[in-house]
Amino acid sequence: MALNGEYELSYGRLTDHTFPTDNSRVSHRVGAGVYYTGREDLQLGVSYYSVLGLSRVRGVPSQSVETAEHLESEPVTLNVLSFNVEYIW
């Protein structure tokens, strides 16, 4: 059995403004996995990772309003659970 952990910090500008600015975005990726490695030619595992700090989604109200304000979602998080199979022949 093998355990895997990872962390990634990403910085990206949303426009051409210099750092720091409100148009900057920092996201974090956190992951973990468990793998079966009992054979040289086979690797089976389950991994999970989450990306935090993604950009908010903007929208407008569904009702027709003359002074419609733009709405923003809560901070977006991406969660992924995967089953991994690697076979080398």
**Is pLDDT above 80 for 2?**
yes
**Residue 76: both structure tokens together:** 């977006």
Which tens digits make up the pLDDT trace of 24-81? Answer: 577 889 999 999 988 888 989 999 999 887 777 777 666 665 655 667 777 788 899 9
User: Could you tell me the pTM of the whole model?
Assistant: 0.62
Domain boundaries along the sequence of the chain = 2-58+69-87
- Tokens 């992951």 belong to residue: 31
Q: Which two tokens stand for residue 40?
A: 């040289």
Residue 20, CA atoms < 13 Å, CB-side half-sphere: 1
Work out the end-to-end distance of the chain between its first and last CA atoms, rounded to an integer number of angstroms. 21
Give the pLDDT score at 44.
94
d(CA 4, CA 84): 13
> Which token pair is 65?
């309003």
Q: What's the confidence (pLDDT) of residue 40?
A: 87
Question: For residue 3, what pLDDT band results from cuts at 50, 70 and 90?
Answer: very high
